[in-house]
Structure 1
Amino acid sequence: MTVAKPFESLAALGWNDFFEAHYQQFTKDPTTSGQQPARIIGEERGLFSLAVARDTFLGSVAGRLRYFSGERLDLPAVGDWVLCSRADHSARAIIHSILPRQTCITRKQAGNGIEDQILAANVDRALIVTSANAEFNLARLQRYLTAVRDSGVAVEIVLSKVDLYPDYPALLDQVKAAVPNVVVTGVSAVSRVGLEEFQRRLIPGHTFVVLGSSGVGKSTLLNCLMGQKIMATSEISDFEDKGRHTTSARHLFALSTGVLVIDTPGLREFRLGGFEQGLHETYEDIVALSAKCKFSDCSHQNEPGCAVKESIESGLLAETRWSWYVKLQKEVDYQKRKESGDQAGNSKARWKKIHKLAKQISKRKKWEF
């Protein structure tokens, strides 16, 4: 794993009053003596790249932190601020704890598991990238939007590779209609269309995360922003009109303007959690219509006075948008039921670990006397 160039200060890494306040609380605990705050800027196979002011180094999770982690959310991720210690002249640090996260974007792990996977922590804005070729998928965008909005992170959609689509302004209008109240920008790394406008919205000192499926041009976009090739890219397959997956790990980079960007691997599957709040924000138009129905428990099927059905029939609400909402609502409801059923078991397993360690400590103290 390579380590990035040093940052000038903690502020250049995204440190703010939120993290300072929590750090001061941690320092009141004498067991944290000798531990310093650092930001996770890279992760690969259980090893982390960390950055502090004017220094970067590698680190691994302390055994105690790993032992008491009930789930993946309890372990560090790219973007996290952690407390770590490093012996003199040691090339590797030990990560002892994670400072509370200001924001955290997650998805359900691939397959049928219930565990959450962290995509990025402590980000200010998510850049959802989709491309103007065979990868273009409006339904997939709804999934990304739901997850990001549930995390409380601001969001923007970037339509890449617009040079491949003859009438890309029409495609932009199509995206804007499908995701109302979201900034949508079309860009091309080849023709440089839209890049200047896009870069003007990137705020120095803020952390952005680039999300999207494999081959939509995330790495190419990051290379353009950096002004140099730092991420490997692949050519588009003429046979499938798709880009190939290139990024395999998460990294945080700093642009020359002071903007922080987290690059993520392409997501081939995006399962939602119980993201009810995010779903309601993504489909706030449908939520508003539901409030106008004659019956508060309207199922929007055959009830009289259903504002949703009336809007679909009159053409005010696209039937496609309604079907997207219904599908995601079912998935969110299913995950909420699944999570509530497993939550008790997870809590029980964690307390079992705590009680086991307490017994070990008690036995050790007896032998010490």
Structure 2
Amino acid sequence: MSIKQYGWNENWSRKWNEKWLDTGGPELVPGRIVGDFGTKYRVMAESGETWGELAGKLRHGLVVSGDYPAIGDWVGLSMQDGGEHAVIHGVLPRHSVISRKVAGTSQEEQIVAANVDTLFLVSALNDDFNVRRMERYLIMAWNSGANPVILLTKADLCTDAESKIAEMERAAPGVAVHAVSALQGEGLESLLPYLGSGQTVALTGSSGCGKSTMVNRLCGKDLQVTQDIREGDSRGRHTTTHRELFVMPDGGIIVDTPGMRELQLWEDDGGLERAFADINSLAAECRYKDCSHDREEGCAVLEAVQSGVLEQNRLLNYRKTQRELLYQSSKEKKTKRKNANTSLKVSPSRSRGWRSGLDDF
């Protein structure tokens, strides 16, 4: 299978030439990370799919977890033993990076997927449905550089789908919202514009929201194991335990990821403002430029809440997330200063430690 079927194009060829043409180093060939298993990778090169491992020079030069290759990355490979395995020597510059903060107190970035054109934010139309959580996913999506699209799955099991669609559309102005049923094949035609040949889409959401079922349906075969949700709370059991990339029959590329138990946001690059564009638009009419939209007189945002134009819970979530991102930013700056002062690099064993398991999903 040609790497063009995995998204290789003139743009990637140009980046390749800028990085590796006539470098005088080892002879490299391009490949894409199609499987991220935490401690090892599956890579697709022109000669076929094989296992890949990091070159020692690359491994020792990586300081932070976000620098490691991730699912969807294009990398430089030296093929070994006739192509039976490959050594990864570097990563081409990414055009989009979907990332979050690792669970716990550690100030490290965890990359969910790279070089994604469209990010499907998946929520099931059962007890998994949560508008406030989707607002957080939208911040991550806008920060990534990928185009966010909301998928409301299991539409066949919902009796009030229209009202939930309308509720989600109010919380995600300007973002496409599609109600689908992978099992019944309902609404899938609306996804075709995102699934063109060479285009990469990724799915993210909580466990049991139907990501793996959607992958199987779009690919036309059972590639991912699925399980029924638990009775009583509609929460899913973990079935996808690693990140994997597949080519769909019509040429599109799809990435499945493990379900997230929680989403801790990484640094903000305008995602908060875009996810809450309505609040920022209202804030321009506030009497005070530094209005916190809490108790100030002449606050246009509070007036919108009082008049019913803006949902109060949306404003509360905006405040909460804004504080979280400010705190995260201050912690990240302290960590960078500490690293700069000590001039210590993260050891290979520790820097790989965050990848050794998926217990934060």
Do both share a fold (TM > 0.5)? Answer: yes
Match of 2:212 in 1: 219
Aligned to 2:102: 109
**In 2: Cα distance, 1:253 partner to 1:136 partner:** 27
How much has 1:17 moved relative to structure 2?
A: 3.3
The DSSP-based 3-state class of the residue aligned with 2:321 is helix
Q: Deviations over 1:114-151 (max 9, x none)?
A: 10000000010100110011111111111110011011
In structure 1, which of residues 65, 69, 74 is the aligned counterpart of residue 62 of structure 2? 69
For 2:80, what is the secondary structure of its paired residue? coil
* Shift in Å, 1:24: 0.8
Alignment of 1:159-308 (within 5 A): 159-308=152-301
- Counterpart in 1 of 2:315? 322
**Structure 2: how far apart are the matches of 1:266 and 1:71?**
24
Q: Is this contact kept in 2: 1:65–1:75, CA < 8 A?
A: no
Kindly report which structure 2 residues correspond to 1:68-147, keeping only aligned pairs within 5 A, or say none.
68-147=61-140
Q: 1:84 to 1:341 in 2, by over 3 A?
A: same
Q: 2:349: which partner in 1?
A: none
- Aligned runs of 1:325-336 on 2, under 5 Å? 325-336=318-329
Find the aligned partners of 1:136 and 1:207 in 2 and give their Cα distance: 25
Q: Is the 8 A contact 1:27 1:33 kept in 2?
A: no
Residues 100 and 112, structure 2, Cα contact 8 Å, conserved in 1: yes
Query: Match for 1:329: what amino acid?
Result: Q
Aligned partners of 1:294, 1:212: CA distance in 2, in Å?
Answer: 39
Q: 2:337 matched to which residue of 1? A: 344
Task: Indicate the residue corresponding to 1:367 in structure 2.
Answer: none
* C-alpha contact (below 8 Å) 2:152/2:178 kept by paired residues: yes
By how many angstroms is 1:74 displaced? 1.2
Q: Would the aligned equivalents of 1:77 and 1:118 in 2 still touch at CA under 8 Å?
A: yes
How much has 1:301 moved relative to structure 2?
Answer: 2.5
How many Å apart are 1:238 and its aligned residue?
A: 2.7
Closer, same or farther in 2 for the Cα pair 1:65/1:348, shift >3 Å? farther
- Secondary structure, in 3 states, of the residue corresponding to 2:270? helix
The 1-side partners of 2:24 and 2:61 are apart by 17
Q: Where does the alignment leave 5 or more consecutive residues of structure 2 unmatched?
A: 347-361
Deviates more, 1:172-181 or 1:25-34: 25-34
TM-score under structure 1 length normalisation: 0.89
Matched, 1:40 2:40: no
* Separation in structure 2 between the aligned mates of residue 340 and residue 353 of structure 1, nearest angstrom: 16
SS at match of 1:157: strand
Q: Secondary structure at the match of 1:51?
A: strand
Q: Is the 8 A contact 1:26 1:32 kept in 2?
A: no
Contact 1:187/1:193, CA 8 A, preserved across alignment: yes
Partner amino acid, structure 2, of 1:51: M
**Percentage of identical aligned residues:** 38
Contact 2:183/2:213, CA 8 A, preserved across alignment: no
Counterpart secondary structure, 2:325: helix
For these two proteins, the number of residue pairs brought into alignment is 346
Q: Which residue of 2 aligns with 1:363?
A: none
Structure label with greater radius of gyration: 1
- Encode CA deviations 1:71-106: one digit per residue, 9 max, x unaligned: 111110010011110234251111111111111010
Q: CA RMSD in A?
A: 1.7
**Distance in structure 2 (CA, Å) of the matches to 1:45 and 1:320:** 37
Moved segments of 4+, more than 6 Å: none
Structure 1 unaligned segments of length 5 or more: list them: 1-6, 355-369
Residue 22 of structure 1, CA deviation: 2.0
Q: Is the 8 A contact 2:154 2:210 kept in 1?
A: yes
Partner residue in 1 for 2:149:
156
Alpha-carbon shift at residue 206 of structure 1 (Å): 0.5
Contact 2:118 2:146 in 1 (8 A): yes
Which range moved further: 75-84 or 31-40?
31-40
**More deviation in 305-314 or 24-33?**
24-33
Q: Deviations over 1:195-236 (max 9, x none)?
A: 222234422211001101111110001111011111000012
User: For residues 343 and 90 of structure 1, what CA distance do their matches in structure 2 show?
Assistant: 40
Q: 2:123–2:129: 8 Å Cα contact kept in structure 1? A: yes
State the one-letter code of the partner of 1:59.
G
Task: Name the structure, 1 or 2, with higher relative contact order (CA <8 Å, separation 6+).
Answer: 2
User: What letter is aligned with 1:279?
Assistant: L
Which whole-Å deviations, capped at 9, do the CAs of 1:306-325 have from their partners, x for residues lacking one? 11111111111111111111
Which range moves more in the overlay, 60-69 or 245-254?
60-69
